[in-house]
């Protein structure tokens, strides 16, 4: 399609994106819009420097490409460059979502979906309600001077219902959300909505402060996923290791880094927000074991990091859109299933805490998780609601303290957020896992 010059490496990435965004607040429509955008990101490499440009004038990509060649230096040995040698030459077309594309669903149907659900969520303790709908359908194309020709589509759609509760001066904000690849799967039943409201009412009326200390902890799948993503997934992004000898030593493949029952995987082939059959350098998605049975087994790569560290590509060079160059990013990161039921995990705890939902999490060598709804565990049973401000700890120490892994893995997607790294936010990712039990965590 494009005329690539010999003596240079070059690639062209194009995204044709449709998106819709709608929001109600207390029953009043605050936002309802659809956007269509088509952009290209073009880059040229001469073995020493990269030259980039981004354009919405996709009919003149060839001219933009030729202009970049004017800045670069001819290199007859460019194909022997270690980075260029890593690039795959894939030719493929994967169109999965065209027949069910969200761009074909009228905006009024999307508005009706969230307003109807919000109207069914009622509580005397509620001081504020919001209902949000977000979707996106993209068609990607990728072409390279090595001969790659790839086309695939991506779709995500989701709803998020937020409620703020107030009781005797106590406040609680909680969200019920769902993210799917098909619009028809976004409906909540009356029972699901009622259970959400009842749980929030019970929590705000009955939650008691805890005594800070070190306790056994069970993380629900949402908390497991955030822990895997924030506390370990980012450490697996290998661009953090370039030029950092201490981190490279800490991150030696084959090193014992966790409990024998712990396995963490990362893959773009699963459905959801992290579905990426090819990354933004044309690399086919892989199923990468980051930790396997407690042993450090892999890390995430772009062609640049794979060449620098002498390892294989993993399909993790990603950009949030065609305004940015690809960098090493996660896709779907999750803790793999174990063999225990939730009842079995609970049965091993005399006194601890169950983290049902969270506000946020962060961390690299150390981590912080801020629970939203949590419960006391007493004699192997979930007890009264508990007010917990923070969970903190050392990542590697905590990985080694995981002494129970559930058999109920969930892979979760978040349509209202995403992963942030440097200036690129939000990137669509998935995360999750089963319930896990940690022998002890610092609780505040």
pLDDT tens-place string over residues 15-67: 999 999 999 999 999 999 999 999 999 999 999 999 999 999 999 999 999 99
The angle at the Cα of 406, spanning 391 to 383, to the nearest 5 degrees, equals 55
Kindly state the tokens that stand for 223: 């908390």
- Residues in the chain where the model's pLDDT stays below 70: 364
CA-to-CA distance for 362 and 393, rounded, in angstroms? 11
pLDDT in the model for residue 84? 98
Q: Which of 151, 148, 234 lies closest to 419 in space, CA to CA?
A: 234
CA-to-CA distance for 241 and 220, rounded, in angstroms? 31
pLDDT in the model for residue 296? 95
CA-to-CA distance for 159 and 275, rounded, in angstroms? 19
Residues with Cβ within 8 Å of residue 397, at least 6 apart in sequence: none
The β-bridge relationship of strands 149-167 and 91-94 is parallel
396 CB neighbour count, 10 Å cutoff: 19
CA-to-CA distance for 101 and 239, rounded, in angstroms? 35
364: three-class secondary structure by DSSP? coil
- N-terminal to C-terminal alpha carbon distance within the chain: 59
pLDDT in the model for residue 367? 85
Residues with Cβ within 8 Å of residue 163, at least 6 apart in sequence: 121, 123, 126, 128, 129, 130, 173, 174, 175, 197, 200
Confidence (pTM) = 0.95
pLDDT in the model for residue 289? 97
pLDDT in the model for residue 326? 98
pLDDT in the model for residue 243? 77
pLDDT in the model for residue 248? 74
Query: Would you say 15 and 56 are in contact if contact means Cβ atoms under 8 Å apart?
Result: no
């Amino acid at each position: 399609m494009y005329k690539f010059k010999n003596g240079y490496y070059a690639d062209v990435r194009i995204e044709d994106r449709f998106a819709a965004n709608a929001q109600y607040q207390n029953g009043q429509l605050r936002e309802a819009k659809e956007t269509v955008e088509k952009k290209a990101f073009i880059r040229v490499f001469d073995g020493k420097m990269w030259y980039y440009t981004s354009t919405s004038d996709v009919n003149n990509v060839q001219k933009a490409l030729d202009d970049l060649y004017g800045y670069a230096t001819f290199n007859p040995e460019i194909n022997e460059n270690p980075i260029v040698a890593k690039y795959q030459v894939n030719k493929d077309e994967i169109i999965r979502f065209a027949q069910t594309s969200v761009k074909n669903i009228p905006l009024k149907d999307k508005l009706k979906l969230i307003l109807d659900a919000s109207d069914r969520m009622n509580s005397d303790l509620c001081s504020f309600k919001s209902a949000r709908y977000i979707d996106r359908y993209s068609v990607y194309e990728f072409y390279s001077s090595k001969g790659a020709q790839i086309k695939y589509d991506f779709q995500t759609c989701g709803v998020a219902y937020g409620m703020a509760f107030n009781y005797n001066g106590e406040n609680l904000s909680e969200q019920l959300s769902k993210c799917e690849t098909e619009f028809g799967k976004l409906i909540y039943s009356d029972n699901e909505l009622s259970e959400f409201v009842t749980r929030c009412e019970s929590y705000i009326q009955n939650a008691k402060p805890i005594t800070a200390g070190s306790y056994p902890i069970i993380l629900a799948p949402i908390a497991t996923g955030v822990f895997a993503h924030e506390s370990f997934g980012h450490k697996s992004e290998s661009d953090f290791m370039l030029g950092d000898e201490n981190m490279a030593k800490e991150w030696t493949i084959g090193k014992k880094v966790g409990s024998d029952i712990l396995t963490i995987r990362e893959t773009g082939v699963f459905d959801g927000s992290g579905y990426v059959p090819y990354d933004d350098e044309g690399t086919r998605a892989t199923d990468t074991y980051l930790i396997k049975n407690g042993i450090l087994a892999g890390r995430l790569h772009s062609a640049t990091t794979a060449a620098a560290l002498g390892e294989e590509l993993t399909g993790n060079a990603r950009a949030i859109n065609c305004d940015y160059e690809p960098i090493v990013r996660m896709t779907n990161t999750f803790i793999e299933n174990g063999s225990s039921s939730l009842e079995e995990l609970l049965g091993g705890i005399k006194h601890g805490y169950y983290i049902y939902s969270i506000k946020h999490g962060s961390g690299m060598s150390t981590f912080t998780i801020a629970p939203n709804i949590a419960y006391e565990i007493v004699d192997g049973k979930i007890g009264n609601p508990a007010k917990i401000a923070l969970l903190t700890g050392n990542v590697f120490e905590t990985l080694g303290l995981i002494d129970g892994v559930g058999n109920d893995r969930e892979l979760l997607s978040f349509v209202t957020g995403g992963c942030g790294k440097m200036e690129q936010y939000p990137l669509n990712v998935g995360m999750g896992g089963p319930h896990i039990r940690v022998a002890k965590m610092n609780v505040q």
